[in-house]
């Protein structure tokens, strides 16, 4: 059997990956078989970490999927969650190419961003929310995510730096849709999850200008004021007709953390509803991957590593793993350096081989732009030459590469 290895930190391991080698350590003297180990659970990852910080993953023998047992471990249908399955989880398939879906998601995302801006303006003027109107705008975004999630995330990587409040709302709506799609929730539930992503920070509108949007650390008083945005958001929701229990639950608890260190109530573990645990991960992921006054955008692959390091401290481990699977180890729109030294951008995922996405090559090995922009499926590479692989993720804008300049 052919072996295609990639070196990963143990913190990057996910269920479905096959570890064929430990770095600087033989299998002898470990509890694992000599041929390697298939990572199936968080306990497997913890066990591997006892023997090596870095491992080699065989991409050929790695698999992907969402076992029913993992869904149960998320507490789907638990007493504290509004998320339910009336039957089996929906198994979605990609029904449109990125190229086919881009015009539709571009229009839908622009409409959602316009609504996000108007909602903020309306609230500043004392006007009330309309949940039905939000659903009408969110539904086309969800429909596009169902057809092909890559299209939105590719588009988002090309957009100019819009004001954070507007782009964060739409990004979180799309991420919640993709997360829920991956877990198999029905379309109507995806609309509620996306609506929660759109609405979670509306209470920020009531805070004094500059409370959080500045480059300096918050004072204790500012932090307390900023945390009050949850209560303010809920008050706005409660005054709005059409608010659903799921939307309210997600927003009420999305700043709670797995170890009880969050706010406003210090809930922990399964005391936090599943929809809120999902929204907490999405909110953190997009915030760290966005340009803000106090921090530059981090590479999304690196943000995933941060989430992994916080497993079972800030976020439920199994849920972090499912989120990573929903967007890919190297999310669409990420800049990466290939084994050839060339820089490429991830343009689509291969759902069965998360370490081998489809990419467009942007540069020569010396990092100068190669205008050919050749497209490569890292899983199904043609030719007899050496197979390319991803060596590392790069920060947005690395080597002066502006995706919008190339593709818009």
The model's pLDDT over 235-252, given as tens digits with 9 standing for 90+, comes to 999 988 889 999 999 999
pLDDT tens, position by position, 68-84: 555 666 777 776 788 87
Most confident option among 45-59, 134-148, 318-332: 134-148
Q: Could you give the percent of the chain with pLDDT greater than 70? A: 94
- Secondary structure of the chain in the HEC alphabet? CCCCEEEEEHHHCCCCCEEEEECCECCCCCCCCCCCEECCCHHHHHHHHCCCCEEEEECCCCCCCCCHHHHHHCCCCCCCCCCCCCCCCCCCCCCCCHHHHHHHHHHHHHHHHHHHHHHHHHHHCCCCCCHHHHHHHHHHHHHHHHHCHHHHHHHHHHCCCCCHHHHHHHHHHHHHHHHHHHHCCCHHHHHHHHHHHHHCCHHHHHCCCCCCCCCCCCCHHHHHHHHCHHHHHHHHHHCCCCCCHHHHHHHHHCCCCCCCCCCCCCCCHHHCCHHHHHHHHHHHHHHHCCCECCECCCCHHHHHHHHHHCECCCECHHHHHHHHHHHCCCCCCCEEEECCCCEEEEEECCCCCCCCCEEEECECCCCCECCCCCEEECCCCCCCCCCCCEEEECCCCHHHCCHHHHHC
Instruction: Report the pLDDT value the prediction gives residue 408, as an integer from 0 to 100.
Output: 75
Question: Which tokens belong to 362?
Answer: 């942007």
How many Å from the N-terminal Cα to the C-terminal Cα in the chain?
A: 43
Residue from 89, 116, 243 nearest 172 by CA: 116
SS3 at position 358: strand
CA distance 235 to 230: 9
pLDDT tens, position by position, 153-210: 999 998 766 677 788 999 999 999 999 999 999 999 999 999 999 999 989 888 887 7
pLDDT tens, position by position, 259-298: 999 999 999 999 999 999 999 999 999 999 988 777 888 9
pLDDT tens, position by position, 383-401: 777 889 999 999 999 999 9
Give the pLDDT band of residue 67 (cuts 50, 70, 90): very low
pLDDT tens, position by position, 354-391: 788 999 999 999 999 999 999 999 988 877 778 899 99
CA distance 246 to 41: 29
CA distance 206 to 391: 45
Residue from 280, 278, 276 nearest 248 by CA: 276
Instruction: Report the pLDDT value the prediction gives residue 60, as an integer from 0 to 100.
Output: 72
Instruction: Report the pLDDT value the prediction gives residue 1, as an integer from 0 to 100.
Output: 47
Averaged pLDDT, 48-74: 74
Instruction: Report the pLDDT value the prediction gives residue 71, as an integer from 0 to 100.
Output: 66
- The b-or-e profile of 209-232 (16+ CB within 10 A means b, else e) is eebbeeeeeeeeebeebbebbbeb
> Which residues are paired to 392 by β-bridges?
337
Averaged pLDDT, 121-125: 85
Instruction: Report the pLDDT value the prediction gives residue 65, as an integer from 0 to 100.
Output: 47
Instruction: Report the pLDDT value the prediction gives residue 63, as an integer from 0 to 100.
Output: 63
Instruction: Examine the pLDDT at 92 and tell me if it is beyond 90.
Output: yes
pLDDT tens, position by position, 1-23: 455 788 998 888 887 788 999 99
pLDDT tens, position by position, 93-117: 999 999 999 999 999 999 999 998 8
For residues 45 and 352, which has the higher predicted lDDT (pLDDT)?
45
């Amino acid at each position: 059997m052919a072996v295609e290895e990639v070196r990963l930190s143990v913190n990057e391991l996910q269920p479905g990956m096959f570890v064929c080698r430990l770095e600087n350590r033989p299998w002898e003297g470990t509890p694992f078989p000599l041929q390697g180990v298939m990572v199936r659970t968080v306990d497997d990852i913890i066990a591997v970490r006892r023997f090596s910080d870095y491992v080699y993953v065989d991409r050929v023998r790695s698999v992907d999927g969402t076992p029913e047992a993992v869904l149960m471990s998320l507490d789907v249908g638990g007493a504290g969650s509004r998320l339910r399955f009336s039957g089996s989880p929906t198994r979605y398939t990609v029904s449109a190419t990125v190229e086919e879906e881009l015009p539709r998601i571009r229009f839908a995302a622009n409409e959602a961003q316009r609504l996000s801006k108007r909602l903020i303006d309306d609230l500043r003027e004392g006007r009330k929310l309309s949940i039905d109107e939000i659903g009408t705008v969110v539904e086309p975004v969800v429909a596009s995510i169902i057809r092909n999630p890559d299209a939105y995330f590719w588009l988002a990587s090309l957009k100019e730096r819009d004001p954070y409040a507007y782009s964060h709302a739409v990004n979180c709506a799309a991420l919640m849709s993709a997360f829920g799609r991956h877990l198999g929730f029905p379309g109507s539930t995806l609309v509620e999850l996306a609506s929660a992503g759109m609405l979670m920070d509306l209470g920020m509108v009531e805070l004094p200008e500059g409370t959080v949007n500045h480059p300096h650390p918050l004072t204790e008083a500012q932090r307390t004021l900023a945390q009050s945005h949850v209560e303010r958001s809920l008050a706005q929701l409660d005054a709005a007709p059409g608010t659903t229990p799921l939307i309210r639950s997600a927003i009420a608890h999305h700043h709670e953390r797995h170890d009880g260190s969050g706010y406003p109530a210090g809930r922990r573990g399964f005391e936090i509803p599943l929809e809120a645990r999902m929204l907490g991960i999405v909110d953190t992921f997009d915030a760290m991957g966005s340009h803000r006054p106090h921090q530059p955008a981090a590479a999304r692959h690196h943000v995933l590593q941060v989430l992994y390091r916080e497993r079972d401290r800030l976020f439920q481990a199994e849920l972090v793993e499912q989120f990573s699977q929903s967007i890919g180890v190297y999310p669409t729109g990420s800049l990466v350096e290939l084994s050839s030294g060339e820089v490429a951008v991830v343009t689509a995922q291969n759902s069965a081989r998360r370490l081998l996405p489809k990419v467009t090559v942007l540069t020569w090995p010396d990092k100068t732009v190669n205008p050919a922009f050749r497209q490569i499926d890292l899983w199904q590479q043609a030719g007899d030459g050496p197979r390319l692989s991803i060596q590392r993720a790069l920060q947005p804008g690395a080597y002066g590469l502006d995706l919008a300049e190339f593709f818009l």
